[in-house]
């Protein structure tokens, strides 16, 4: 009987304490929101900017002409216009080449005239020498015959004279033959020299004609015209001077688009080939395209002279590129997915607090909240991985 009374008193006392404990828990938690630790894959990404380019672009540059380094753009096909193979897309200034062609053509024509004149003059001179040789041979034959026909009736002194005349006539024949040979050789040399000049001027005229023709830039394939940029990054325009090696314009293949990106140096170790990414064009941010990294730069560089940020370049492919929307030069915002596939304990970033650099969370308890130190792993945009201090399903207070 006494034991039964004691138990009843104990139950009555516990029933009186329950409302107080419940009130203490509510006052300690203060009605704060609660989240729990979950197991999953942490979503991590790196946000960068990029520019659309074509993976297959034909650049149209000034031709390589002798003694020409600077070219003036006289005419350009409208940027963005569609052209067919063989269409004229740009015209560079030909005035200097045309002037040089005029000079070389005049020299060529003068040389051709000199060749004709020289041939006539040489033929006339050779004919004169041939007549002179024939006359010398005839005189030699007469003198020789006169000497041979002289007999005892001819005085000795006359016979000596006839013999001397024959020798002189023979020497004249030999001399005339030598003059004829020398003149023929000189004529051939003069003609060869003039023919060499003709070939030289003809070659220069042909080269200038080809050079002038090459100053008209012809589309090697059908496509869209995209203007090149000058050294200041501005679009090339009509009337502007360009240099050999500058891309006046290009004709990209819109069916093979990709995006060039610049990655900060601090993110280098987290970016790898094959990582997937999301692409949002600044011109149409509502549409999201996907792709993957296909090329990483081998060297680091400064972004530009004004911004001393060290970066490296990367290239990504674009899945199912929209040829109607996408154009080379469009800027885009890119989110590179750097998450791994391993499941981890995940918690909302909002639930993490810091005290002297040490991370901790607040956990709800029977008599109020308590501090629980945690060790953090990788950090995403909204979630953080927990490597120690909490278990899956454990509740944590949110601020």
* 309 in the same domain as 274: yes
* 103 in the same domain as 189: yes
246-256 average pLDDT score: 92
pLDDT at 147 over 80: no
The pLDDT > 70 percentage for the chain reads: 87
pLDDT at 39 over 50: yes
326-341 average pLDDT score: 88
Choosing from 214, 243, 265, the residue where a domain stops is 214
* 302 in the same domain as 289: yes
Choosing from 166, 196, 214, the residue where a domain stops is 214
Which of 63-67, 130-134, 258-262 has the highest mean predicted lDDT (pLDDT)?
258-262
pLDDT tens-digit readout, 194-232: 999 999 999 999 999 999 999 999 999 998 999 998 888
Residue 223 domain flag:
no
* 351 in the same domain as 302: no
* 385 in the same domain as 331: no
Residue 18 domain flag:
no
Residue 65 domain flag:
no
Check which CATH number belongs to the domain holding 312 and give it: 2.40.30.170
Pick from 221, 261, 233, 127: nearest CA to 183 = 127
Give how far the C-alpha of residue 158 lies from the chain's centroid of Cα atoms, to the nearest Å: 97
Which residue would you say has higher pLDDT here, 245 or 168?
A: 245
Q: Name the 3-class secondary structure at 250.
A: strand
* 105 in the same domain as 30: no
Looking at residue 105, what is its pLDDT? 95
State which H helix or E strand residue 362 sits in: strand 358-363
Token output for 112: 């051709």
Token output for 70: 């600077």
Residue 9 domain flag:
no
Choosing from 189, 214, 239, the residue where a domain stops is 214
CB 363 within 8 A of CB 396: yes
Residue 189 belongs to domain spanning: 97-214
Residue 300's CB is within 10 A of a number of other CB atoms, namely: 12
Residue 38 domain flag:
yes
Looking at residue 13, what is its pLDDT? 37
Question: From residue 198, how far is each of 97, 105, 116, 224, 242 by CA, in Å?
Answer: 20, 10, 12, 44, 34
Q: Can you tell me the distance from the alpha carbon of 200 to that of 185, in angstroms, rounded to the nearest whole number?
A: 22
Q: How many residues does the chain have?
A: 399
* 361 in the same domain as 275: no
* 207 in the same domain as 104: yes
pLDDT tens-digit readout, 5-15: 433 433 333 33
Residue 234 domain flag:
no
* 201 in the same domain as 117: yes
Tell the residue number behind the tokens 């040829």, with chain if given. Answer: 323
* 205 in the same domain as 108: yes
Residue 56 DSSP code: S
* 130 in the same domain as 110: yes
- Tally the domains of the chain: 3
Tell the residue number behind the tokens 């005892």, with chain if given. Answer: 152
pLDDT tens-digit readout, 48-92: 999 999 999 999 999 998 888 899 999 999 998 999 999 999 999
Looking at residue 84, what is its pLDDT? 94
Residue 11 domain flag:
no
Check which CATH number belongs to the domain holding 36 and give it: 2.40.420.20
pLDDT tens-digit readout, 343-379: 889 999 999 999 998 999 999 988 888 999 999 988 8
Pairing of strands 226-227, 70-76: unpaired
* 388 in the same domain as 355: yes
User: What mean pLDDT is reported for the chain?
Assistant: 84
pLDDT at 154 over 80: no
Which residues is 75 bridged to in the sheet?
91
Indicate if the alpha-carbon torsion angle 259, 264, 267, 272 is positive or negative: positive
Which residues lie below 8 Å from residue 75, measured CB to CB, with a gap of 6+? 90, 91, 238
Residue 63 domain flag:
no
pLDDT tens-digit readout, 278-322: 999 999 999 999 999 999 988 878 777 676 788 889 999 999 889
């Amino acid at each position: 009987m006494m034991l039964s009374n004691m138990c009843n008193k104990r139950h009555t006392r516990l029933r009186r304490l329950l409302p107080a404990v419940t009130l203490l828990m509510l006052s300690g938690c203060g009605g704060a929101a609660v989240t729990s630790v979950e197991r999953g894959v942490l979503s991590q990404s790196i946000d960068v900017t990029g520019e659309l380019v074509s993976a297959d672009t034909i650049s149209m540059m000034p031709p390589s002409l002798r003694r020409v380094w600077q070219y003036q753009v006289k005419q350009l096909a409208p940027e963005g216009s569609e052209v067919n193979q063989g269409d004229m897309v740009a015209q560079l200034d030909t005035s200097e080449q045309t002037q040089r062609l005029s000079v070389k053509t005049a020299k060529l024509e003068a040389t051709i005239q000199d060749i004709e004149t020289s041939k006539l003059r040489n033929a006339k001179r050779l004919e004169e020498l041939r007549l002179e040789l024939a006359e010398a041979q005839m005189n030699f034959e007469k003198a020789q015959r006169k000497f041979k026909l002289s007999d005892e009736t001819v005085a000795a002194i006359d016979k000596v004279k006839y013999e001397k005349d024959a020798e002189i006539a023979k020497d004249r024949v030999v001399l005339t033959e030598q003059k004829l040979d020398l003149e023929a050789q000189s004529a051939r040399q003069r003609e060869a020299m003039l023919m060499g000049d003709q070939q030289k001027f003809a070659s220069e005229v042909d080269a200038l004609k080809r050079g002038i023709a090459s100053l008209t830039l012809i589309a090697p394939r059908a496509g869209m015209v995209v203007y090149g940029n000058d050294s200041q990054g501005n679009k090339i325009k009509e009337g502007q001077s360009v240099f050999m090696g500058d891309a006046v314009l290009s004709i990209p293949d819109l069916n093979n688009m990709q995006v060039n990106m610049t990655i900060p140096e601090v993110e280098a170790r987290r970016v790898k080939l094959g990582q997937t990414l999301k692409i949002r064009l600044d011109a149409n941010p509502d549409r999201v395209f996907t792709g993957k990294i296909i090329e990483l730069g081998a060297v680091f560089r400064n972004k530009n002279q004004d911004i001393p940020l060290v970066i490296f370049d990367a290239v990504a492919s674009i899945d199912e590129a929209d040829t109607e929307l996408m154009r080379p030069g469009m800027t885009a915002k890119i989110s590179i997915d750097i998450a791994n596939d391993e499941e981890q304990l995940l918690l909302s970033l909002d639930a993490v607090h810091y005290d002297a650099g040490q991370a901790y969370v607040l956990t709800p308890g029977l008599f109020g909240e308590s501090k629980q130190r945690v060790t953090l792993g990788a950090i995403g945009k909204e979630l953080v991985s927990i490597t120690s201090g909490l278990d899956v399903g454990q509740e944590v207070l949110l601020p």
